[in-house]
Structures are given as C-alpha cells and as structure tokens.
Amino acid sequence: MSDDFPVDGESGDTSSGSAQAIRPPSQWLTLAEPSRAGLEALGLFTLAPLLALAPRGDGHTVLVLPGFATSDHATALLRRFLVRRGYDARSWDLGWNLDHKTVGEQGEIITARIRALWEESGRTVSLVGWSLGGVIAREAARRVPDGVRNVITLGSPFAGDPSANAVRGLYERLSGNIIDSPTTRARYAAGGQPLPVPSSAVFSRTDGIAAWRNCIGIENEINENVEVVSSHFGLVVNPAVLHLVADRLAQPETGWQRFRRPGALAFLYPDTPVEN
C-alpha cells in the first residue's frame, strides 16, 4: 500500500481510476489467465511455509462471496485455508453469482444472509469477496454496517469505468444489467467512496479480467488499497493473497491498522504509486 493512493478529501479521479482513462486488460493477460492461475495454485505447495506463518484467527465468522458466474466451488480452497487458520468461514449458499439476479435488486438476499450469520454467532461478520463478489460485499456493508466487521475485496471492479473489463458481453447476457445504463454508471461512480467499516481493496496490475484501476477506492483511516502480483482467477488460490487475507482478518474489532508489507516478503506486495 502506497502513500500515493488517493485519500479522503482528495480528488476522486484516481480513486475511481478516472473513468475516461481506464482501459480493459490486454488480450495477452486475458488469454494467460488459466495458465497463470494454475501456476499460482501450485504455489500452495511450494510456498506452504508462507501460509503456515499467516496470523491465526479468533473464530469469528467470515462470509466468502464468489466471483461473477461462479459459485462456492470457486472459493473452496480459500475457505478451507481460513478454517485452518481458525475462522468460521462460510459459503454464501446462493448458487451462481449473477449479480442482482442472485442477491436481489437491492441486495436484500445477501443482506439477509449477513444478518442471519450475525445473529447466529452474536458477533460481527467479515466479508471476503472475489471479483463481483467484492462489489456485492461492499454494497452490503453499506446497508448493514453494524453487522460487518471487515471487508476484503479481491480484484473487485467496484469503481471507475464498468466497461473496462474482459467479460462485458458475458456479464450483460447473464446478469441482465447493461453496462452503459445510467443505473450501472451511477453504481460504479459511487462504488469507490470509503466504506463505514474497515476495508482492504486487493488489486493486481496484471489482472487479465478487471482493469486494476477499477479495483481501488478512496483511502482514509479505515479504508486501504493493497497491491499483489496475481492473475484474476488466481486471487483465490495465490499464496501471497491468502496470507494477506489472513493478515487482514486478524485485525481486532477495534484498533484496525493498515497492512504492513512483511520484511523479507515485501516483494510479494508491490508498493508502486497508483499514478504509474
């Protein structure tokens, strides 16, 4: 995380990626997504010591939201890792993520799921959302902030220009949402504003699906952007990302602190200014 990211009160142009300047990922990055994700998954074995050093949890509930056109199967490894680190990691149990078709026009279905988990445990719930799942998680946190402890988004294009992605046509066909509609544009224009709860927006400049500038928001004392090196598909299996998620979830309910790049492992978390 760099001090050069936009902070609360500064111009929102860079926080939302300045929609006019945002371009979709290159076709080369998009085509390389499956092979890169496969290599990153292999890292779960070669970098097992890194994961063993990840902070342990306090047992609170973590709801994991899958990406667009995927289901809980896509986040199984991430949830298994979180369970091993001591969290009560839950699937979202809503089937395929087709945006509002799945979570409700006003997000009422996912909000009800969060409220149920909150009431079940008696503790606030952390949300980890991959891709579109993170967009939905941020919106849910605005609707039920008292029940949300922390939000972590993984390559989630919640701000900027919603057309700057590699799956626009597929998204429109399956979700029924039109990217260029006033409703969608307004959704993403507001998406980068700080959340009322601690949040970490994890992004990768080598993301082959979502434009990375769409995946960052305005920073303040409880909202941060953290860069990793990962494919889009690999964000739920990349060892460096899993370690980061565990670190963020281990933050106490009060006294949340920004991510600190770990000494010898700092190279896994670039600190390049956002303007570059």
CA distance 42 to 110: 32
**Where does the pLDDT of residue 50 fall: very low under 50, low under 70, confident under 90, or very high at 90 and above?**
confident
CA distance 87 to 145: 20
Domain boundaries, the chain: 19-254
CA distance 249 to 134: 15
CA distance 273 to 2: 6
CA distance 88 to 80: 10
pLDDT value at residue 16: 44
Please count the other Cβ atoms lying within 10 Å of the Cβ belonging to residue 253: 13
**Where does the pLDDT of residue 135 fall: very low under 50, low under 70, confident under 90, or very high at 90 and above?**
very high
pLDDT value at residue 47: 85
**Where does the pLDDT of residue 49 fall: very low under 50, low under 70, confident under 90, or very high at 90 and above?**
confident
More confident residue, 202 or 50: 202
Residue 183's Cβ-count burial label (10 Å; 0-12, 13-18, 19+) is: exposed
Residue 270's Cβ-count burial label (10 Å; 0-12, 13-18, 19+) is: middle
Residue 9 has pLDDT above 90, yes or no: no
DSSP 8-class letter at 158: -
More confident residue, 8 or 138: 138
- pTM, to two decimals: 0.92
- Any bridge partners for residue 128, and if so which? 64, 152
Reference 57, options 245, 260, 266; nearest CA is: 245
Question: CB of 240 within 8 A of CB of 228?
Answer: yes
CA distances from 70 to 23, 65, 174 (A): 24, 10, 12
Average pLDDT over residues 227-256: 97
pLDDT value at residue 19: 52
pLDDT value at residue 2: 41
**Where does the pLDDT of residue 163 fall: very low under 50, low under 70, confident under 90, or very high at 90 and above?**
very high
- 177-236 per-position pLDDT tens digit: 999 999 999 999 999 999 999 999 999 999 999 999 999 999 999 999 999 999 999 999
Token representation of residue 108: 């009422």
From the options 3.30.70.3420, 3.40.640.10, 3.40.830.10, 3.40.50.1820, give the CATH code of 19-254. 3.40.50.1820
- Give 187's contacts (C-beta < 8 A, 6+ positions apart): 162
Q: What are phi and psi of 89, to 5 degrees?
A: -80, 130
